[in-house]
Chain A
Amino acid sequence: MSVLARSVGNAFRNKIRTAAVVAVLAVAIGLALSMLVANQAVGAKVQELNASVGTTLTVNPAGGQGFEGGGEPLTTAEAETAASVANVTSVVGTKALRLQTATTDSTTGTGQQTGPGGGFGPGGQQASVSTNLTAAVDAGTLGNRNNTSGTTGTTGTQPARTLPITATGIGAEVDSTGKALDITSGTGLGDYTTSEAKALVGTSLAEKNSLTVGSTFTIQDKTFTVAGIFDAGTTFGNNAVYVTLPEAQTLAETPDELSTMIVTVNSMENVDSTKTAVQAALGTDKADVTQGQRNLETAVSSLDSVKNISLIAFIAALATAGIIILLIMVMLVRERRREIGVLKAIGARNRTIGLQFVLESLVLVALGSVVGAVIASLASGGIASALISSNTTTTAATTTQRGGGLAGAMPNGAVPGGGMPGGGQGGPFGGASQLLTSVTASVSPGVLAAGIAAVFAVAIIGALVPALLTARIRPIEVLRGE
């Protein structure tokens, strides 16, 4: 019989006690694994949020955003100024256009949208750039209200309207919020700093107009080839076209003008100071600098605290498992002093006896881990949810309040250059609390393996102390007891 076989046999000497020990260990290990799963899930979410909006600033003309407001347009010179600010890693300019279907009849209200200076954007956006594309979104009640100047609340019959399509010139392969474009077919536009008659089309717009990669369409009578089709994830976002920034500026006949700038900062720690520096460099009368990260700061902060709590709980549960092992093995060593003495008397080395006790503890931990893993797979989702909900009760209230206020200031879906995620979901920032509850805690084999490895490591440490105690038992004690 080998040391391992003897250890397994010893682990089952007292079946009732073994069952009790395994049950207690299983609870501790199950809790530890659940906390680890929650920690990993929340950590991944935090990373995702930080990666998406964490280090970007959005610069709009002072007094204007997208097609709303007024003021002076941003210029490429100001983009260079922003790029020269410390900690700024990149500045991507965008130029927003409204594409109006060329076949639109007189009831579409173009008369309201054309004219010097335009009524829809800062810096005199080209109000009506014609296209042969048809919008993928029906006007509906909201579209008719939003496109009717001064008639809000009118209950009379309104003519059916065709919604414009948003075309955005971009200086890099990112959307108007600075997020990388998800191109589902075809390729990007290549060099975004040169004027080229290629475009990226949103999925729903492409479907509506039967466009595929290589198809052509016109803007201002100029033929564009579809280089790729992207998925923005929202109906509004997919009713859009992206072209290179110089191409959009040419179409708008405003070569140096920008609608927005997406400024990327080198780290989250520098976002606040860089925002202040960019604002100072551009001037408060020239530009409004907003921080996308601010909108989700509370959400990320809450998730961070949940992550910390789950990490502490994981360590505590792990330590508890270690202490349980330590106490159980100390008890077993004391109980088997005589047997240890006999083993030494017949020639067992200290390390052989120590190894036997460590292996016995690992058998108990292995059993506890199996049951604990089952507990974790059943309970980790609930525990993660409970942790998140208990930490977001106050946060959600704050976030909702903040989100509601901002939502009132900026109508849904009307801020293509605003860079505010969550638009069209009950307010641009109303999604923050939803983000907290969208964390999915699933038990992945990798996390489970890492957790169980940690449990085994702690168990070995816990079992080493009693194993070392066996070395101090002198075999003479056996004969003295005779």
Chain B
Amino acid sequence: MIVVKDLVRQFKSGDRTIKPVNGVSFELEKGSLASIVGKSGSGKSTLLSLLGALDKPTSGDVVVDGVSLAGLPDGKLTEYRRRDIGFVFQQFNLIPNLSAVDNVMLPMEFAGVRKAARLQRAKELLEQVQLDPEKHSRRTNRLSGGEQQRVAIARALANEPKLILADEPTGNLDEQTGEHIIELLSSLSRDHNTTILVVTHDRSLAQKTERCFRLQQGRLTEEVRTGSRR
């Protein structure tokens, strides 16, 4: 269970104080698939970075399975990212000179998983995201955008995280590939009971999630949905 309590992040810009995240509170049940929509510059990515412990809030707290992130030292936050969080980026952010399987193995290497075990799991995950086995050993900079995003999702799943944070995961993909990716995330949420939070400005993508939040001027409101995906 993810609990976000009155989260605030503010920056100084000259004399002005900017609050891209201003008193955001919400809860996500384990295994839910949710989305946050909003215009560019509305603070979506900032909120995501606070949830993923990439940034520290000015005030407020994020509690993951009863553990508060506020006040955790950097080392513990790194451990939290490694163990509990999986990131999927719009630009994929794979290591270009490594193969698909090596990219997926990276988080497991950082977690201290033995080589044989991480190789086997990486292959399983790549099969799960339906990457052609012939491309497992191919360098990621030689894969298509959709294939790279599949590798990125497999990498996010590597350490069986509690929460997957996807920042515009379909932003660089064509519509059809984007739909495949969101279906994939949806099935992962179902099959692995993993909580997935997708940040997007694509309303059609947001429509496919269980819960949809709107971020506007740093404040979050939940849209009432008529049906469930499940």
Chain A residues close to B by CB (< 8 Å) = 1-2, 6, 9-10, 13, 338-339, 342-350, 352, 474-476, 478-482
Known A-B contacts A9-B98, A13-B97, A482-B167; the reply to A343 vs B45 at CB < 8 A is: no
Contact flags (1/0) for B67-93 with A, using CB distance below 8 Å? 000000001001101110001011101
Q: Which residues from 192 to 228 on chain B have a C-beta closer than 8 Å to any C-beta of chain A?
A: none
Question: Shortest 3 CB-CB distances between A and B: which pairs?
Answer: A347-B82, A342-B93, A476-B55
Q: Which of B75, B91, B93, B109 contacts A2 (CB 8 A)?
A: B109
Known A-B contacts A1-B109, A338-B93, A479-B167; the reply to A346 vs B45 at CB < 8 A is: no
Within the complex, what minimum Cβ distance (angstroms) separates A6 from chain B? 7
Within the complex, what minimum Cβ distance (angstroms) separates A10 from chain B? 7
Known A-B contacts A2-B109, A479-B54, A482-B91; the reply to A345 vs B81 at CB < 8 A is: yes
Known A-B contacts A1-B109, A479-B89, A482-B90; the reply to A345 vs B95 at CB < 8 A is: no
26 contacts between A and B (CB under 8 A): A1-B102, A1-B106, A9-B98, A338-B93, A342-B89, A343-B95, A345-B81, A346-B81, A346-B87, A346-B155, A347-B79, A347-B82, A347-B110, A347-B159, A348-B78, A349-B75, A350-B78, A476-B49, A478-B54, A478-B89, A478-B93, A479-B54, A479-B89, A480-B45, A481-B91, A482-B167
Q: A344-B81, A482-B90 are in contact. List 4 more A-B contacts (CB 8 A).
A: A346-B81, A346-B87, A347-B82, A347-B110
- B54 & A347 in contact (Cβ 8 Å cutoff): no
- A346 & B110 in contact (Cβ 8 Å cutoff): yes
A345 to B81, CA, bound (A): 7
Chain B residue at minimum C-beta to C-beta distance from A336: B95
- A482 & B45 in contact (Cβ 8 Å cutoff): yes
Chain B residues with CB under 8 A of A10: 97
Within the complex, what minimum Cβ distance (angstroms) separates A120 from chain B? 87
Within the complex, what minimum Cβ distance (angstroms) separates B154 from chain A? 12
- A346 & B106 in contact (Cβ 8 Å cutoff): yes
Chain B residues with CB under 8 A of A479: 45, 48-49, 54, 89, 167
Contact flags (1/0) for B6-28 with A, using CB distance below 8 Å? 00000000000000000000000
- B45 & A342 in contact (Cβ 8 Å cutoff): no
Q: Which of B89, B107, B159 contacts A482 (CB 8 A)?
A: B89
- A339 & B55 in contact (Cβ 8 Å cutoff): no
Within the complex, what minimum Cβ distance (angstroms) separates A465 from chain B? 20
Chain B residues with CB under 8 A of A344: 78, 81
Chain A residue at minimum C-beta to C-beta distance from B83: A347
A338 to B89, CA, bound (A): 12
A352 to B102, CA, bound (A): 16
Within the complex, what minimum Cβ distance (angstroms) separates A343 from chain B? 7
- A1 & B105 in contact (Cβ 8 Å cutoff): yes
Within the complex, what minimum Cβ distance (angstroms) separates A351 from chain B? 10
Chain B residues with CB under 8 A of A480: 45
Chain B residues with CB under 8 A of A482: 45, 89-91, 167-168
A479 to B55, CA, bound (A): 10
A475 to B107, CA, bound (A): 15
Q: Which residues from 97 to 114 on chain B have a C-beta closer than 8 Å to any C-beta of chain A?
A: 97-98, 102, 105-107, 109-111
B52 at the interface (CB under 8 A from A): yes
Chain B residues with CB under 8 A of A343: 95, 106
Chain A residues with CB under 8 A of B89: 342, 478-479, 482
A480 to B54, CA, bound (A): 11
A478 to B152, CA, bound (A): 15
Q: Which of A1, A347, A476 contacts B107 (CB 8 A)?
A: A347
A339 to B87, CA, bound (A): 14
Within the complex, what minimum Cβ distance (angstroms) separates B142 from chain A? 14
Name, among B79, B109, B115, the residue most crowded by chain A CB atoms within 10 Å (CB to CB).
B109
- A347 & B97 in contact (Cβ 8 Å cutoff): no
A345 to B78, CA, bound (A): 8
Q: Which residues from 49 to 71 on chain B have a C-beta closer than 8 Å to any C-beta of chain A?
A: 49, 52, 54-55
Chain B residues with CB under 8 A of A6: 98
A338 to B95, CA, bound (A): 10
- B98 & A1 in contact (Cβ 8 Å cutoff): yes
A332 to B167, CA, bound (A): 27
A10 to B52, CA, bound (A): 28
Within the complex, what minimum Cβ distance (angstroms) separates A338 from chain B? 7
- A347 & B55 in contact (Cβ 8 Å cutoff): no
Chain A residues with CB under 8 A of B91: 481-482
Name, among A1, A350, A476, A481, the residue most crowded by chain B CB atoms within 10 Å (CB to CB).
A1
Chain A residues with CB under 8 A of B168: 482
Within the complex, what minimum Cβ distance (angstroms) separates A353 from chain B? 10
Chain A residue at minimum C-beta to C-beta distance from B74: A350
- A347 & B49 in contact (Cβ 8 Å cutoff): no
- B97 & A348 in contact (Cβ 8 Å cutoff): no
- B98 & A349 in contact (Cβ 8 Å cutoff): no
Chain B residue at minimum C-beta to C-beta distance from A5: B102
- A345 & B52 in contact (Cβ 8 Å cutoff): yes
- A476 & B95 in contact (Cβ 8 Å cutoff): no
Within the complex, what minimum Cβ distance (angstroms) separates B229 from chain A? 26
A1 to B82, CA, bound (A): 17
Chain B residue at minimum C-beta to C-beta distance from A342: B93
Known A-B contacts A476-B55, A479-B54, A482-B90; the reply to A346 vs B82 at CB < 8 A is: yes
A482 to B98, CA, bound (A): 21
A352 to B155, CA, bound (A): 18
A347 to B83, CA, bound (A): 8
Within the complex, what minimum Cβ distance (angstroms) separates B127 from chain A? 19
Chain B residues with CB under 8 A of A350: 78
A2 to B112, CA, bound (A): 11
Name, among B52, B79, B95, B98, the residue most crowded by chain A CB atoms within 10 Å (CB to CB).
B95
